[in-house]
Structure 1
Amino acid sequence: MSTWDPKADLHLYLRSAREALLWKLDGLSEYDIRRPLTPTGTNLLGLIKHVATVEFGYFGDTFARPHGEPLPWIKDDAEVNADMWATPDQSREDIVALYHRAWAHSDATITELDLDSPGTVPWWPKDRAPVTLHRILVHVIAETHRHAGHADIVRELIDGTVGVRQDNDNMNMAPGDQAWWATYRERLERAAREAER
C-alpha cells in the first residue's frame, strides 16, 4: 500500500489546472487569444499572463524566494489591469514561456518547502499575511481553476470548444451536436422567460 502524500495531491491539482488553462490557446489565432469577450475584457492570453504573475508572487515573494522576472505590469506605476491582457509586442510565445518559467519557480518552491513552511503575503492585510505553503497551494489552486473556468467560457464563445483537455470534454457534457445544443439553449431561454413572468 502506498503512503498518502498531501503535498503531491495538491501539486497534481495545480498542474492539472495549469495545463487546462494553457490548452485553451491551442489552435487559435493571435486575434482570438487576445480578444476581449466579456464586458470586463476577459481574454485567454491575459488570463495566462495574470496567472503566471500570481504564481511568481505567491510562490516567490511570499516565501522570500526571488524569481528575478521583470514584471512591469505589477509595478506601483503600472496601468490598472495591465496583468490581464497582452500588449501587441508581448507574443503568445513570450507569455507562454513566462508561464512555464513561473511553473518551474513555483514547482521548486513546492518541492523544497514543507506544507507547514511559513511565509508572508506582502499585499494581504497584516492579520492575514502570515501563511503556510499549504494555504498558498490551496489559494493558487483555487485561483487557477477559477481562471480556467473563465477560459472555458471564453474559448466556447470563440469556437465552441469545451473541455479540460483535447482528449477530455469534461465527461459531463451531453452528447449533442450543434443542433441539439441550439435546441437545448432555446429551451433554457424559454424557461428563464417563463420563470420571470
Structure 2
Amino acid sequence: MPAHVPPVADERDGLLAYLAQQRQTLRATAHGLTDAQARMTPTAGELSIGGLIKHAARCEAGWIDLVLQRQRGPQRAADESDAAEFALTEEETLAGVLDQYAAAARETDEVIAGIADLGRAVPVPRGLPWFPADVENWSVRWVLLHLIEETARHGGHADIIRETIDGATLFPLLAAAERWPAPWFEPWKAPAG
C-alpha cells in the first residue's frame, strides 16, 4: 500500500482503508528487524516494536470480540502483567506476532464487511475503569475510529523506537518493504557490520 490511502468509495471503505494504512505503517517499523531487535526497549519506556505489534493484534481482536459480543477467553495469560502485554517474550517471535496481527486484520475486515449498519450498537463493557460508566453503547463506526486512533498512536511509538534502534525512518522502511521504484526514497538497508 502506498504511503497515502487511495480514494475511497464510501464511509466503510474509508474507515477500513485508513485502518489498513495505519496497520501497514506499524508493520513497516518492524521491516528488517531480528527478533532480538524487535525485543529492544531503547527509549525511556518499556515499549518494544515486537511488543507494540503483539498488543495491536490483541487489541484489534478484542475489539472485534466486543463488536460480535463473543467471549473467546483472555488474549493473555492470567499472570501476564500489563508491561508484558507490550513485550515480545523470548518464546515469541516477530514473525509470529506479525502473523497474529495479519490474522486479526483479516478478521476485522471480514466482520465489518458483514455488518450492514455501522451505527449498530456495541455495548460498553462494565466494571472496567478505562471504559465510561455513563455510556451504554458505542457504535461499530466508533470502534473502527478507535482502532485507527489506537493503531496510529502505537505506530508513532514504534517510529521513535525504530529510529532509536538503527536510525531507520518510515518512508525508507516503506520503500524497502514495498519495493518502491527509485528515485523518490532510498529504500532502507540494514547497516553494514
Equivalent position of 1:146 in the other structure: 153
State the partner residue of 1:56. 61
1:7-86 alignment, distance < 5 Å: 7-65=12-70, 68=72, 71-73=75-77, 75=78, 77-86=79-88
Give, in whole Å, the separation in 1 of the partners of 2:170 and 2:93. 25
SS of the residue 2:170 aligns to: coil
C-alpha RMSD over aligned residues: 2.3
Q: 4+ runs of 1 displaced by more than 3 Å?
A: none
Q: Aligned equivalents of 1:94 and 1:152: distance in 2?
A: 20
**What's the TM-score, normalizing by structure 1?**
0.75
Instruction: Select the structure that is richer in helix.
Output: 1
Which amino acid in 1 is paired with 2:89? T
Asked which structure has the greater CA Rg, the reply is 1
Task: State whether residues 62 and 121 of structure 1, in contact with CA within 8 Å, keep that contact through their aligned partners in structure 2.
Answer: no
* Helix, strand or coil at the partner of 1:72: coil
Q: Tell me the distance in 2 between the aligned counterparts of 1:35 and 1:23.
A: 16
Q: Match of 1:72, as an amino acid? A: R
Gaps of 5+ in 2: 1-6, 177-184, 186-193
2:118 aligns with one of 112, 115, 123: 115
> Alignment partner of 1:128: what SS?
coil
Could you tell me which residue of structure 2 aligns to residue 94 of structure 1? 96
Aligned in 2, Cα 1:46/1:3: closer, same or farther, shift over 3 Å? closer
The alignment partner of 2:33 has SS state of coil
Give the unaligned 5+ runs of structure 1: 169-174, 176-197
Identity %: 30
Q: 1:81 to 1:134 in 2, by over 3 A?
A: same
Cα pair distance change 1:128/1:38, threshold 3 Å: farther
Give TM-score scaled by structure 2 length. Answer: 0.77
Structure 2: distance between partners of 1:130 and 1:18: 26
Partner of 2:181: none
- Aligned residue in 2 for 1:5: 10
C-alpha distance 87-15 of structure 1, shift in aligned 2 (>3 A)? same
Q: Count residues in correspondence.
A: 165
